[in-house]
Structure 1
Amino acid sequence: MTTGQVSDRFARGQARLEEISGQDAQAFTESLRDIAPDLARYVVEFAYGDVHSRPGLNAADRQLAVLGALVAQGDTQEQVRRQTGIALHVGLEPRQVVEAVTHLILVVGIPRVLNALVAVRAAIEERGLKADPIEVGANTERQRDRYAYGEARLRQIAGDDGVTVIRALDPIAPDLGRYIVEFAWGEVYDRPGISVRERQLATLGAMIGFGDTPKQQKTHFKIALRQGLTPEELVELVVQVAPKAGFPRVLNALAGLREVLDERGLTV
């Protein structure tokens, strides 16, 4: 794109990209100039000029949702590396990024998280940084009765709705319900490093990016509201995922969010 052809949207997008990624912004557009210059323009204008420049959600929160969506899709290591760099540039600490990605084993499984962490490590090391690992020692209270500990944490975070979801598994797969309570809620959601609110940003980004998770998305939209995310912030979270996951998955997520807000008499 020549100087005379630069649109307001492109200028806004380039400015936003430079603001959140620093020196990497120019390298990205140059990397596509010889093969797909229009794609570079679409990314700058739409993903950054239109979407990432919107108000309603800060840059760090947007990056948690973006990383969730990318990790969920798999085979996106280069994009995870780039977006980790942006996350670090906008103020997330290395250990926060690592913890957010680790949390996603609950949504996308261990293999995709392991692959993503290779890219996260590369981005951290490229910047001369180090992620001080979070290692949780033995929790005496949890080890005494893992299920009771997990259920208490589930009620604290998700309320009675979360327990109802688990109880529904009793007639067909009670052990799966037990695993979810003990591992997901008693161990992973109990970890330090990031807040439950931040975990919900990454979780919902991953569920939307993964697709085919309408019931789970509704459950976690409810949890997000309980953790202080506003209806406006949740709409922005969904919109932010559009450039990474595509319009169909985002439209489906918005339909589920609308149902949750309507059930609670909330508006945007």
Structure 2
Amino acid sequence: MATLDERFEKGLEMRGRLAGGQGRIYKGAVPAAYDLAPDMYRISTESLYGSIWSRPGLELRYRAIATLTVAAIQLTTQVRSHIRNALNVGITPEEIIEILMMVAFYGGIPAAYNALAVTKEVLEERGMHVTLPETFDPSLEPKTLYERGVAKHKELISDVFGYHPTEPTPVERALDVLMHEYLWGAVWTRPGLDMKSRIVCALAALVVRGQYDVSVRRMIEGALRFGLTRTEIMEIGMQLAFYVGVLPARAFMHIANTVFRSPEFSQAEPRGL
């Protein structure tokens, strides 16, 4: 087992890597917090960066996507540093914009617009000027957009309407239609972000919003069907424990564990996570 000093050194190395290879990074993204509580900096460097970001079970790319999703939804001032981190680990500006388009539906349009504005500032600091091409086709019939969304949703979840515990009201049905048209038909189908990254983004959004109902279970099931491993899913919960709080993260991990034990998935991967 690594000593605390070894964890701290590993955490400093990870901070430097996320900062773009700038070496040992002291005081982090919030120097004022270090000045007030240096022990907090030491503890977070050891536990978060030295013990979690450095774990092998989930690629750094997906850790950065999950963390950026959470930071954007929380409207945190640290979203700027997480945008920089994402760029520094190889996530492209176009992919960051696509992640934030996902955030608009899972975390709210204000959160997405706030993070997009910060993204523009960060890119301009680096001399980068990015505008995604307009790919949304307004000439589509709503029925076509809806059917496209249902088809995409079914790639993850075969029974896309099975989450209603009771007969839905007309208003709920109308919301379902809109979500299949725009979230699933217009956003999930966009080519600028791969499917696995979108799933990681969606799972992170469900964790940060504290959604402990059937929607979390169904997204975890869809992630497994798509090919994410049990370890990757559990590592998403582990990664976010220090960003959303231990209780929401543990609740997510508990739901994931019950999914792993269900008949469909119980033999999919060896135990021992």
Q: Percent identical across equivalent pairs? A: 27
1:53 aligns with 2:54: yes
| 8 A contact 1:166–1:177 mirrored in 2 | no
- Report the TM-score, using the length of structure 1 for normalisation: 0.88
Deviation at residue 189 of structure 1 after TM alignment: 0.9
Per-residue CA deviations over 1:54-95 (Å, capped at 9, x if unaligned) read 001111110000011222223x0x211101111100100011
Instruction: State the AA in 2 paired with 1:223.
Output: G
Q: Which residues in structure 2 correspond to 1:56-135 (within 5 Å)? A: 56-74=57-75, 76=76, 78-135=77-134
Per-residue CA deviations over 1:156-204 (Å, capped at 9, x if unaligned) read x223232423796644522112112112111111112101210111111
Deviation at residue 139 of structure 1 after TM alignment: 6.7
Instruction: State the AA in 2 paired with 1:55.
Output: P
1:174 aligns with 2:177: no
Q: How many residues are paired up?
A: 261
Per-residue CA deviations over 1:82-135 (Å, capped at 9, x if unaligned) read 011111001000110111011111211111111122222222222222334142
CA, structure 1 residues 260+201, in 2 after alignment: closer, same or farther (shift >3 Å)? same
Residue 3 (structure 1) aligns with? none
Per-residue CA deviations over 1:226-249 (Å, capped at 9, x if unaligned) read 222111111111101111111001
Residue 7 (structure 1) aligns with? 5
Of structures 1 and 2, the one with the larger relative CO (CA 8 A, separation 6+) is: 1
Q: Which residues in structure 2 correspond to 1:213-224 (within 5 Å)? A: 213-224=212-223
User: Which protein is richer in helix relative to its size?
Assistant: 1
Q: Which residues in structure 2 correspond to 1:5-44 (within 5 Å)? A: 7-22=5-20, 23=22, 25-26=25-26, 28=28, 31=31, 32-44=33-45
Gaps of 5+ in 2: none
Residue 225 (structure 2) aligns with? 226
| 8 A contact 1:33–1:40 mirrored in 2 | yes
Q: Which moved more, 1:164-173 or 1:59-68?
A: 164-173
Distance in 2 between residues matched to 1:87 and 1:68, nearest whole Å = 11
| 8 A contact 1:167–1:177 mirrored in 2 | no
- Report the TM-score, using the length of structure 2 for normalisation: 0.86
Cα-Cα RMSD: 2.4
